[in-house]
Structure 1
Amino acid sequence: MKILIIGGNGTIGKPVVAHFKEQNEVLIAGRSSGDITVDIANSNSISKMFQKIGNVDAIICIAGEAKWANFNELEEEDYHIGLNSKLMGQVNLVRIGQNYLNTGGSITLSTGILADDPVVKTTSAAMVNGGIHSFVMAVALEIENNIRVNVVSSGMVEDAYEKYRDYFPGHNPIPMKKVINGYVRSVNGKGNGEIIRIYD
């Protein structure tokens, strides 16, 4: 398969790329590095990326940002960071990317445990993650050409434990192998409209 991985140079992206490269052709897209650059917060940038690379068999997005801050410190524009990047960025990847997927292809988005189990300072991020979950379940009912759309929602991964552990007291770090398997399940399985939760 020819697989496009957006965010393939990140903490989760690198091991996911390494796994899929074993038996597939993998293209890495990132905001500042990779085989091709893309800003998912800009739909024109997404369109230009697909025009350059052409058709693929699978799209995986492990990218998107949202503002972390106390609720009373968040201004309206702070919410738009997550809305424009992680939410609409991934929505636009589906909206535009479906036209560059071979029949029977798949699109895998990424969220996280905050959608179901938020912690402090994550009002914006949790809201965005929950929105993506609802979007995936709904779009799966309508998307054509036997295309499947799923989302992988992981807890705090082991590789990010030192950086984020103070935000997630008592949470069990998720082994990267489990996270990789979530993406494998989405790409190689037959599920559609699934929220693949990896929380424990």
Structure 2
Amino acid sequence: MKILLIGATGLLGNAVAKELEGKHEIIRAARHNADVEVDITKPDSIKRMFEQVGKVDAVISATGHAHFGALEEITPELNEESIESKLKGQVNLVLLGMDHVNDDGSFTLTTGVIMDEPILHGASSAMANGAVKSFAKSAAIEMPRGIRINSVSGTVFQESPEGLRAYFPGFDPIPVSKAALAFRKSVEGAQTGQSYEIY
């Protein structure tokens, strides 16, 4: 398969690429230092990416920034960071990418554990993650030409920076390679409308 992997230079994206390369052709996309550059907060950038890449069999999003901060200190502007990137950015990959995915292809989006298990300072991120999960579940029944759509929700990774892991006291970190397996399940399997929750 020809797979477009967005967020390929990040921790998760690198693990997904490692899991899939060898068997598939991976086109790496990121803001910098990738086969194709893209900023998912800008629809025009997404359009240019798809035009540059052409038809693919699968699109994987292993990206999306979300704001972390105390609820009382979250402003509409800070909350917009989560909406523009984690939520709208990933949704727009689907809306703008459907015509660039071959029949019976797939989209796989990324969410996260805090949509199900709240943490301090995670309200904005949880909002965006939960919305992405709901979008994928609902969109699955309307996707054209046999195209499938799923999301992957991982918990905190063992390889995550210490500062990020500190947000998740008492959580059992997983190796990022375990989360990467869920992306393979989504791409190579037959399910649609699923949220693969790797907790």
TM-score range, shorter chain: over 0.9
Q: CA deviation at 1:33?
A: 2.1
CA RMSD of aligned residues (A): 0.9
Instruction: Determine the structure 1 residue equivalent to 2:189.
Output: 189
Confirm or deny: 8 A CA contact 1:40 1:93 kept in the other structure: yes
* Aligned: 1:94 with 2:94: yes
Q: Matches of 2:91 and 2:45 in 1, distance apart?
A: 14
Q: Matches of 2:76 and 2:137 in 1, distance apart?
A: 27
Instruction: Determine the structure 1 residue equivalent to 2:149.
Output: 149
Q: CA deviation at 1:18?
A: 1.5
Q: Matches of 1:39 and 1:164 in 2, distance apart?
A: 23
Q: Matches of 2:95 and 2:156 in 1, distance apart?
A: 28
Q: Matches of 1:90 and 1:4 in 2, distance apart?
A: 13
Confirm or deny: 8 A CA contact 1:161 1:173 kept in the other structure: no
Instruction: Determine the structure 1 residue equivalent to 2:29.
Output: 29
Deviations for 1:34-93, whole angstroms, at most 9, x for unmatched residues?
000000001111001101110000000011101111001111011111111110101000
Confirm or deny: 8 A CA contact 1:111 1:154 kept in the other structure: yes
Q: Matches of 2:35 and 2:146 in 1, distance apart?
A: 28
Query: What are the equivalent positions in structure 2 for 1:47-196 lying under 5 Å apart?
Result: 47-160=47-160, 162-196=162-196
Secondary structure, counterpart of 2:98 in structure 1: helix
Greater Cα shift, 48-57 or 161-170: 161-170
Amino acid in the other structure paired with 2:11: T
* Aligned: 1:2 with 2:13: no
Confirm or deny: 8 A CA contact 1:64 1:89 kept in the other structure: yes
TM-score by length of 1: 0.97
Amino acid in the other structure paired with 1:86: K
Secondary structure, counterpart of 2:159 in structure 1: helix
TM-score by length of 2: 0.97
Q: Matches of 1:16 and 1:133 in 2, distance apart?
A: 19
* Number of residue pairs matched by the alignment: 199
Q: CA deviation at 1:161?
A: 5.6
